[in-house]
Chain A
């Protein structure tokens, strides 16, 4: 039996949902035009008046917003409310320039929490559950986002944040955590520590599922995690610009449900900006329909995905995005070939001998780009015979070549040498100085 947090909305017929979206879009356009000098200027420049937007189809007339806009207007230049309405700020780490500041009104926090409550309910998380939140608490939205969602559905939240892994495992055992929420790479690290302690999740904990996100991860990684730890691994999606973690898959694990009464999604061709039909891969664009402090119109999130508007087997009618395939800004160009780290992960993890930790190192020798893939040699695959190890190197190289059409040097390294991450894993090291 499937539980719903808000069955009326989650199962609303598609036509009615579209009407809701249309109404909210029209309101939103008026709201931002009248409350944010940034949007007024942007619309005026594009020759658009709020009156021009009457239907959902009109959305394509609106200009996009980007991460650069948020940086240019740092800290609060795109906000639509005065500071007295703000109840919380979050900010991005700002590793690549000025951080991005996101503000929330009381209602923004409420809508964020509702979104997660629906999501958590859809994967069977409720009052009986103990949710260990291993996402970072602080300026990063992951920890507090999940925390509020877990509390709202009546689960017991444990705000462990990330790090201090042995203590996490101890609490997981002692408090009987049934759900772990963290990045998939941190969970892999946690699994290693669990093994090192001579334990396993199945016999020594009550863990039933993980809510993994904040970094792209492949279907192959999901299979590895589910097989090795015997828990269900669910994908969660969201970014701080549109609030934080917001959406998950349901138990059918067939795409992430995006609540259409709160967010309007499109997929566009990243080059031309043209809207793409359902099923075509492109860049995700999100319009926040109910946010007050920092509403975003046609915000180019940068994630590459495919929309599926077919109602889900679970009964929810809201559109789904299929697994995030990478980000437009994750893409690396090696010898003129576009490479997404996610693709490489998918290739590597189809090879049973390859462990979950890997790293790509891009460098330049003279005029030529080189790609080295570091793979750890675990006890299970270590052969005392050099020829076996070299065969493994060749096998990995050949699989990568087949999929990426790019020769990569495969380097076998000792277990534990690839840095473990408590938060978002750094899978790619680009040493090129261009």
Chain B
């Protein structure tokens, strides 16, 4: 199952200037490559979520710099880069009663699209997506994106 999950790094940040600057500086100095990135904003604070090539190093470095960091298991769902692809995934999850807590997507260099999701029941989601023939990427693939 491990190779079908991705470690996402989440960082708590106050909603004020230069927080992103400070955080990205740490990643830059640690030579971390960000593969996917999003900021969720909730008033005076936000949560930065990202998929990086070396999550353990990123986690340690951010932690040492005093950031509140956590690692979350998420899924990297491979989709075709065409209309209806997201709907197809949503349908599989929805009809199996799996809730998506949050999601973000991007198009990869290989003409595919990648959807990062956090779900309420990750093992169930892996099973139903696998049964439907949907490819899930693991950390090895993340390094190669």
Contact = CB atoms under 8 A, between A and B. Distances in A.
Interface of A: 377-379, 382-386, 389-390, 411-417
A379 B68 contact: yes
Contact of A386 (B13, B14, B40): B40
Contact of B45 (A378, A379, A389, A415): A389
A415 B68 CA distance: 7
Given A384-B118, A390-B42, A379 B47 contact: no
Interface in B1-57: 8, 10, 12-14, 19, 40, 42, 44-45, 47, 49
The DSSP consensus for interface residues of chain A is: loop
A415 B63 CA distance: 11
Contacts, number: 52
Given A382-B68, A415-B68, 4 more contacts: A379-B68, A379-B69, A379-B70, A412-B12
Interface size bracket, B side: 20 to 34
A377 B68 contact: yes
Given A413-B14, A414-B13, A415-B66, A384 B44 contact: no
Contacts of B13: 414
Interface in B106-132: 118
A219 to B, nearest CB: 28
Interface of B: 8, 10, 12-14, 19, 40, 42, 44-45, 47, 49, 63, 66-70, 72, 101-102, 118
Contact of B70 (A384, A412, A416): A384
A221 to B, nearest CB: 22
A95 B102 CA distance: 51
B42 A416 contact: no
CB-CB nearest 4 A-B residue pairs: A384-B10, A384-B72, A382-B68, A386-B42
B15 to A, nearest CB: 10
A390 B41 CA distance: 11
Contacts of A414: 12-14, 19, 66-68
A392 to B, nearest CB: 11
A389 B10 contact: no
Nearest to B46: A386
Contacts of B69: 379, 382
Contacts of A386: 40, 42, 47, 102
Nearest to B19: A414
A389 B66 contact: no
B47 A384 contact: yes
B140 to A, nearest CB: 23
Contacts of B44: 411-412
